[in-house]
Amino acid sequence: MPHIRLAPPAPTGPGVLLPRRDLTLAWILLTLLAALAWALTVAQSREMGTGSGTMGMALPPFLLLWVVMMAAMMLPSVAPVAVTWVRAIGRTSAGPVRAVRTAEFLVGYLLAWTAFGLVAYGLFAATDRLLDGNPEAGRWIGAGAFLLAAIQQFGPLKSVCLRHCRSPMFQLLRYSRFRPWAKDLRVGAHHGTYCVGCCWGLMIILIPLGVMNVAAMAGLSAVIFLEKLWRQGPWFAWAVGAVFLVLAVLAPFQDWLLPGLQATDPSMDMEHMDDMDHMGRMPGRTP
């Protein structure tokens, strides 16, 4: 009798996720956390604007802001895996213990994105230095970012990591073999690492679009959600890659595609400094 190899079930197929009611509840809880993160991100963006590069931030505040942004963008799409893992936790834990273990999973997941935040900070800082030396370089930095994102969308790493993110039950079987020590934290970090491998190219385009560009973040969040949870997600990822290729060609000639690489108007900086001075908050000055 010939050996028949079964294809992995779709991420929304029967037997993969929890019943619709439980899944909906989990999505609601994670969406509420994401909504809080979105509220903090939007409030911060109103104060800082779109901005270019690191926007003058040191590494610690940048990482804090980055983690909040990742929570806003990623938590809705990580719901299936989180729910599947919580279901597994529920078989051996209850009440406060289950809540703590679930929190460890989410912390581990965000730790993976924090690690990528270190890379992002380096890229944004390098962008700042290049723009200081030659503002016109922004056109080619933007084109390069879109091109790199397109290559990642078509690359094998994207395919492998996206397949991992779309199959929570297969992950659960693998994670069940992890040793008990800090198991939930390591499971979250492991899954988060795959998510980084799947989505890092999408985050790269925040270089030309602006790290605090809320509209761009919302669009990327929708792309990530569809790639991971829509049945046609892998084909959709290729379509997004094709769009990035077009944007890479247009970027050197279309300033509207590069709001995060526009030189800051010095007069605006002086106006901002005057406002801070009048409010008695200029460093080294007495109100």
Is the pLDDT reported for residue 148 higher than 80?
yes
Name the residue with higher pLDDT: 258 or 85.
258
Inter-CA distances, 63 with 3, 42, 76, Å: 50, 16, 21
Alpha-carbon distance of 228 to 139, in angstroms, equals 31
Alpha-carbon distance of 221 to 226, in angstroms, equals 9
Alpha-carbon distance of 162 to 101, in angstroms, equals 25
Residue 176: which residues within 8 A CB-CB, separation 6 or more? 88
12-48 pLDDT per residue, tens = 443 344 456 655 666 677 778 889 999 999 998 888 7
Say how many CA atoms lie within 13 Å of 264 toward its Cβ. 19
pTM: 0.79
pLDDT for 177: 72
Is the pLDDT reported for residue 60 higher than 90?
yes
Alpha-carbon distance of 11 to 239, in angstroms, equals 20
pLDDT for 153: 96
Confidence of residue 270 (pLDDT cuts 50, 70, 90): very low
Alpha-carbon distance of 68 to 62, in angstroms, equals 10
pLDDT for 16: 40
Residue 18: which residues within 8 A CB-CB, separation 6 or more? 26, 83, 84, 87
